[in-house]
Structure 1
Amino acid sequence: MMKRYSGYFIDLDGTIYQGTKEIKTAQTFMQRLIDSEIPYLFVTNNSTRSPEDVAENLRAHHHIATTAAHVYTTALATADYLRRLAADKPLTAYVIGERGLQDALRNVGFALVADASFAPTFTVVGLDREVTYEKFVQAVLAIQHGSQFVGTNLDTNIPNQRGMLPGAGAVVDFVRYATGKKPITIGKPAKIIMNEALNRIQLPREDVLMIGDNLHTDIMAAKNANMDSLLTLTGLTKQAPAGDADIVPTYVVSDLTKWRLHG
């Protein structure tokens, strides 16, 4: 039996769209959700784009009338989490990452340092499509001298028209291998992004449903955060897992039009 939820966390690629391709059933579901005035957040591991950019893409190319306030990226989760974790330490960070991550950290008060000699409190590593060996050198040196190592997410690949390109996890793993240090990981399937999103939406975890297409990120993140989950078979996962599988969603639908918002 479907439960009635007060809020929703929703993945993007494979759930709301497939790369540049529209998923019409997802658009129908989102219109119903918006019309119902039920709180929701798009929860994404993408740290490179700003919430404004994500929302604009959804409006312009996927006919979803959403706003930046409904987008929660791993960059925002990283900034929110580290702001509290710093306590009375200096709000300084060395960053390997793109503008979305840099702006998120600056917006909560972080100063981004140029190199390891500034002894940053945190060294934050995410996807950086212009990464250089020298950026890796500075990150490794900072961590070796006591900076806390943080990875935005560990996605191994990102889908692209060219194929499965290296994801943030590949960048993070370069630093992990060179330092021998395990990073604090923010994005799905880690529970940190889920807990931070719950703080943002201001609802109890038992009243929020995580919707996604990937068992190993979306559904596992919900499991790690002790939340219910809905697997849609419109993306990476093409069939429901067996009941004795390691990762089992609370619900499975062939597409999101099959989900009833009001139980």
Structure 2
Amino acid sequence: MANYDAYLIDLDGTIYHGKNKIPEAKRFIDRLKAAGIPYLFVTNNSTKTAEAFADDLTTLHDIKTSPKQVYTSAMATADYVASDTAGPKEKKVYLIGEAGLKEAFARPDIKVVPADEANYVVMGLDRTFNYEKLTEATFAIQRGARFIATNADTNLPSEKGMLPGAGSLVAAIETASGVKATIIAKPEAPIMEGALKRLKQPKKPIMVGDNYQTDILAGIQNGLATLLVYTGVSTKEQVAAKDIQPTHVIENFDQWSL
């Protein structure tokens, strides 16, 4: 195997299945720690804080993790808005989302405001989304606010079936406003650029995940090597049909040599 100097690693389906452990994944992380190779967990989930993810990894999966080792789409979105030189200098944001997004935007260079004062509309998954929020966001965008979305994931897996994801709510605002959102999360560039910056711009990074459409495409589209592990979303049949194949493919992490 090639020697990579940093790992960007997906979470659900890759390191765990919800609350269920993937033992091979823990052993993989243990090997990274022992080798002193830096890694960053990179997730499209904007609802939880980095602290919450780190706590879950530590307590539920026995993978001791610091919040600094987690980079969420909410954090990437806040980084993107704060550094958006094409937008207004003063960042006034109407926020639609949950705890992870709210914490990410609680920073001095961004001001969270009511919709009628906003020059940005930023949204992630919001399980209290309603017609009033749709209306306020639509009006703000029609007045010229820039429309930014954490991710475009249409569905989320659950015990009952596939739940509506943030992308389904983004689509409602896009339809009502007539404006396409700028998407931040995998497979788009902003979250990858933010993650690599946090890893201090490694020379030979690799993107690791279970989902070809998000994790692997994120690596392919942003010039990174990729490692697909068949413990989650994508199947061998689906991947075989793709024109561009992952750099590496494994059944589980016990097959991977650092």
Q: Please state which band the TM-score falls in when normalised by the shorter chain.
A: over 0.9
Q: 1:186 aligns with which of 184, 189, 199?
A: 184
Does the 8 Å contact 1:210/1:227 carry over to 2?
Answer: yes
CA deviations over 1:196-224 (Å, ceiling 9, x no partner): 111111123x5111000001000001111
Task: Report the equivalent of 2:174.
Answer: 176
Amino acid at match of 1:29: F
Taking a change above 3 Å as real, the CA distance of residues 52 and 128 of structure 1, as seen in their structure-2 partners, is: same
Task: Report the equivalent of 1:124.
Answer: 122
Q: 1:258 aligns with which of 246, 255, 258?
A: 255
Matches within 5 A, 1:1-263: 2-86=1-85, 89-107=89-107, 109-115=109-115, 117-118=116-117, 120-204=118-202, 206-239=203-236, 241-242=239-240, 245-261=242-258
Amino acid at match of 1:154: A
Cα distance between partner residues in 1 of 2:208 and 2:124: 24
Does the 8 Å contact 2:96/2:124 carry over to 1?
Answer: yes
Does the 8 Å contact 1:215/1:247 carry over to 2?
Answer: no
Please tell me the root mean square deviation across aligned C-alpha atoms, in Å: 1.4
The secondary structure found in structure 1 opposite 2:95 is: strand
Runs of 4 or more above 6 Å deviation: none
Taking a change above 3 Å as real, the CA distance of residues 207 and 218 of structure 1, as seen in their structure-2 partners, is: same
Q: Percent of pairs identical after alignment?
A: 44
Count of equivalent residues: 256
Cα distance between partner residues in 2 of 1:160 and 1:83: 33
Shift of 1:88: 5.7
Does the 8 Å contact 1:19/1:160 carry over to 2?
Answer: no
The secondary structure found in structure 2 opposite 1:77 is: helix
CA deviations over 1:49-99 (Å, ceiling 9, x no partner): 000000000011111011100000001100111101056621210011112
Does the 8 Å contact 1:152/1:185 carry over to 2?
Answer: yes
Does the 8 Å contact 1:40/1:201 carry over to 2?
Answer: yes
Q: TM-score, normalised by structure 1?
A: 0.94
The secondary structure found in structure 1 opposite 2:231 is: coil
Q: TM-score, normalised by structure 2?
A: 0.95
The secondary structure found in structure 2 opposite 1:106 is: coil
Amino acid at match of 1:91: K
Does the 8 Å contact 1:89/1:121 carry over to 2?
Answer: no
The secondary structure found in structure 2 opposite 1:38 is: coil
Amino acid at match of 1:231: L
Amino acid at match of 2:33: I
